[in-house]
Amino acid sequence: MGIFAMHCIFAFATCMGFAFPLAIAGSEKRAERAEDIKRRLVTANILGPIVDAWLILEDAIPIFWLFQCAWYARTELPEDIKEAKHRWNEEPSIRLFFWISVILIATLPLYLLNFI
C-alpha cells in the first residue's frame, strides 16, 4: 500500500511537471487581455452575472456564462494553444515529464494484480 501511495504521488508530481508550464504559457498575454476586457464596460458584462444568478436560482442553465465561455473559446483559446505548442517544442523537460507521467499512470493498474 505504501509503494502504491508513493507511485501515485510521483505520478501526480510528474503530471504537474508538464501540465503547469503548459498552463501558464502565454500568461502575460492573457493578463493584458484581461486588463483590456476590464477597461471595456459592456452592459452584458454587468447584467450577465445577475441574470445568471437568477437563472441558477430558478434551476435553469446560466446562458450568459455559456455565451462568455463560447466567446472566450472562439477568440482567445487558439492563441493559448499556439503558445503551449511553442513551449512544448521549446523545452525538452516538459516532454520528458509528460512521457514519465504516461508511464507512471500506465503502470498503476499493476498494483491490482495482487487482488486477482
pLDDT in tens, 40-83: 766 656 777 788 788 888 788 788 778 877 777 777 777 778 88
How many domains does the chain divide into? Answer: 1
pTM of the model: 0.60
59: left (phi over 0), alpha (psi -120 to 50) or beta: left
Range of the domain at 63: 2-115
